[in-house]
Amino acid sequence: MPDNTEPLSERDSLLAGLLSRGMSLSKAARLGGCSRTVVSRLWNHDQNFRREVRRLCLERAERGERRIAGLMRSAVDELTTLLNDENPAVRLRAIQLVVSRCGAMADSRIRDDLDELLRWRNEATDTNLQ
């Protein structure tokens, strides 16, 4: 098989895409309309084909990372909204979430403040129940 940088054929591009999604050689061959031997030869002997599969894998991983980063930004934005909620119970729960997830980074003053907030909430709840 060639070891060059010529563009892949339509079939080989399809096979590279299928393999980059984690499909087995057999399944990629079946979906690509060729034998497993053809796919195996491409993978084992065509550096350009392997390079394309790796490029597609990296592209897929980068898209996933960008998506996760976007979701994290949305989650932090929502958490910021909750930290500013007018309901003290909602604010307190948001604070608890932040502190519990950042426990190693939170210093003892923050933990003391959280304990004080928890005591305040419990006292307020006890007063409302009476």
Question: For 57-86, what is the mean pLDDT?
Answer: 90
Burial grade of 48 (CB within 10 A; 0-12, 13-18, 19 or more)? middle
Q: Which residue has the higher pLDDT, 72 or 126?
A: 72
**Distance, CA of 130 to CA of 117 (rounded, Å):** 20
Average pLDDT of the chain?
84
Condensed to tens digits (0 to 9), the pLDDT of residues 8-64 reads: 999 999 999 999 999 999 999 999 999 999 999 999 999 999 999 999 999 999 999
What confidence score (pLDDT) does residue 39 get?
Answer: 97
- Structural contact between residues 3 and 43, judged by C-beta atoms closer than 8 angstroms: no
User: With b meaning 16 or more CB within 10 Å and e meaning fewer, what string describes 70-105?
Assistant: eeeeeeeeeeeebeeeeeeeebbebbeebbeeeeee
Q: Is the pTM of this model over 0.75?
A: no
Q: With a cut of 80, say whether residue 118 has pLDDT above it.
A: no
What's the alpha-carbon Rg for the chain, to the nearest Å? 27
What confidence score (pLDDT) does residue 128 get?
Answer: 47
**Distance, CA of 32 to CA of 39 (rounded, Å):** 9
- Structural contact between residues 17 and 8, judged by C-beta atoms closer than 8 angstroms: no
